[in-house]
Amino acid sequence: MPRDYVDTARSLAKTLLGTPADWRLNKPGRPHAPRVDSALIGPAIAIVTILVGWFAFTDAVGKEGDVSFALFIGSVSILMMTWSNLLSTRSLVLERGFGGVDRMYVWHRWLGALSVGAMWLHMEMVDDVKGIRGASRDVADAAEDLAETGSTILYVLVGISLVRWLPTRWWRWTHKLLVLPYAFACWHFYTATKPYANDSFWGRWFAGFMLLGLFAWVYRVVWRDMMRKGKLHRVANIEHRGNVMTVDLEPVGEPLAYRAGQFVFLTVKVPGLREPHPFTIASSPDEKSLRFVIRDLGDWTHRLIASLAVGDRIEVEGPYGCLSPLPKEPVDHVVWVAGGVGITPFLGAAISRPPENGPIPHLFYCVPSRQNAPALEMLESAEGEGRIRLHVHASDEGNRLHADHVLTTVGASNLSNAHIVMCGPESLVRSMKSGMRTHGARHIHAEGFDIRSGFGPDLSRQLDDLTRTGLRRVTSRGRSH
C-alpha cells in the first residue's frame, strides 16, 4: 500500500475518538445578552405551538384504550421538524426572536434530534385509532408504509448529522435529503385516522404548519441556495500569515450594508469550493470593500487558503448576527475578549469607533504568539488613535488571561455595569464567562457560530485527504494504462 495513503489513514485512526471536549453537548441555553427578553420570544412561541396540539387529541381512543399521548407525540415530532426547517431559512424575523442565527442553529439541531425520539415513541405506542378517517384505507395504508420507510431514512440521516466525521460538502447533501422523511411523515399524518376532521380547526392548524415546513425547505434549498444567491464580489487582495489568510473583497455592483460584528455566508465560485461557509466581517461598515480573516481549521478552509486567487469571484449572503461590540445604552466599561480569529467581530468596530464616543473599549486579545496574531498591526494603530485599549495575551509568553486580570485592568470594583462581548474558542469563552459572572457581570454576549456542530472529532481534513489520495492513485493508474 502507498506510503502517503498509509500515513493519511493512520492520522485518521489517531483522531477517530477525539477528546472529551469533542463529545460535549451544545445545549440551547439562555442567552447572556442585554436583551434577554427578545431572545426568548422565538423559543417560547415554538414551544407553545408544539405543546398546544395536545388539545387536539384529548380522549382519543384506539383498540387498546386511550391513545391521546401516542397521537400527540406524533404531532410533536412533525412540529419539531417543521420548526427545524423554519430555523434553517435564516429569516431575519426569526433571528431577532431567537437572539441570533447562531442560537437559531442550536435550536434547529436540537429540535431535529428530539423529533427523532418523538417519532420513535409514536411508532412504538400507537395502535388503530377510532375517529375520523383522513383518506381511504388504501391511501392511508400506503402513507403509513412511506412513513415507516421515512423513519428509517430519518434515523440514518440524523445520525450522520450528529457525528462530525463526514466532510461538510458530503454532509450538506445528506442534510438536504431530510425533507424526504419529513414529507412522508406529513402525508401519513394528514391521511391517517384522527379524532378531528382535516377541514376542522385542528386539521387546518396542523396542515398549515406542515405546508409551512415544506415551503421553508423549498425556500432555503431551491430559492436561496440555487436561484437567488448573494451579492457578487471579487477577490481584490490576499495576505498570508502562518495558517491565517486575510482576504479583501470588492463588490461587483452595490456594496453590502452591514453593522460591525455581523457575519455573512461566502460561496466561492471555484470548483471544489462552492459550499457556503459563515465568516465574520472584519472590515469597518464605512469601507466599501469587505475584509475577512480566515484560519486553516478544516478541509474546506485548508483548500481555500491553498487555492484562492486574486480575481476569483465570491457570492456574499447576509448580513446576519445580533452581536453588538459597542453598547447601545450608557455603561461604565466596554470589555472585548477575543481568541485567535475570534478577533474578527471587533476589527471593524475598533477601526471605525470615534475616539470620543463613550468609554474606550478594553480589548483582551488571546493568541498563541504575537508573531502570528491576525491584524495585530491594525489593532495597534487603532490603539494609537485612541479608539481602543489593547491588551495582548500570548500563550508562548506565559501571559494567559484570567477574569481577575480584566477587573484590575479596567480599574473597576465589579463588572455589573460593563458591556462584555466575547468571541473565540469555546474553552476560553466558557472560562471567562464563569469568572466574570463572579465579579457581577450581567451583560455578556458571546456569539459562537457553528452551522454544523454535533458530536465527536471533526475528521473532515483526514477524510478529505484520504479521498483525494485515493482518487490520485486511481487517476494515475488510469493514465498509465
**Does 307 reside within a domain?**
yes
Split at pLDDT 50, 70, 90, the class of 36 is very low
Shared domain check, 340 and 302: no
**Does 243 reside within a domain?**
yes
**Does 17 reside within a domain?**
no
Shared domain check, 180 and 244: no
pLDDT at 229: 76
Split at pLDDT 50, 70, 90, the class of 255 is very high
Split at pLDDT 50, 70, 90, the class of 32 is very low
Can you give the CATH number for the domain in which 434 is found? Answer: 3.40.50.80
- Provide the residue type at 238 as one letter: I
**Does 112 reside within a domain?**
yes
C-alpha cell at 336: 472585548
Which range marks the domain in which residue 270 is found? 231-320
Shared domain check, 340 and 193: no
User: What are the angstrom distances between the C-alpha of 61 and each of 77, 118, 150, 189?
Assistant: 20, 20, 26, 16
**Does 455 reside within a domain?**
no
Shared domain check, 343 and 308: no
**Does 19 reside within a domain?**
no
User: What are the angstrom distances between the C-alpha of 114 and each of 49, 60, 73, 150, 373?
Assistant: 16, 24, 11, 16, 41
**Does 221 reside within a domain?**
yes
Q: Which of 192, 227, 262 is the last residue of a domain?
A: 227
Q: Percentage of the chain surpassing pLDDT 90? A: 42
Shared domain check, 196 and 288: no
Q: Which of 168, 195, 227 is the last residue of a domain?
A: 227
The pLDDT of 1-10, averaged and rounded, is 60
pLDDT in tens, 403-427: 888 988 988 888 888 999 999 888 8
Judged against a pLDDT cut of 90, whether residue 233 lies above it is answered with: yes
pLDDT in tens, 164-202: 777 777 788 888 999 999 999 999 999 999 999 999 999
Split at pLDDT 50, 70, 90, the class of 330 is confident
Residue ranges of the alpha helices (H) in 374-439?
Answer: 376-384, 403-410, 426-437
| Whole-number average pLDDT of the chain | 85
175 closest CA partner among 164, 161, 159: 161
Q: Which of 169, 195, 227 is the last residue of a domain?
A: 227
**Does 289 reside within a domain?**
yes
Shared domain check, 195 and 61: yes
Q: Indicate yes or no: pTM above 0.85.
A: no
Shared domain check, 196 and 147: yes
Shared domain check, 358 and 220: no
Shared domain check, 293 and 146: no
Shared domain check, 360 and 250: no
pLDDT at 48: 97
Can you give the CATH number for the domain in which 256 is found? Answer: 2.40.30.10
Shared domain check, 388 and 299: no
Domain count, the chain: 3
Give the span between the Cα atoms of 326 and 324, in whole angstroms. Answer: 5
User: Can you say how many angstroms the Cα of residue 151 is from the centroid of all Cα atoms in its chain?
Assistant: 25
Shared domain check, 208 and 156: yes
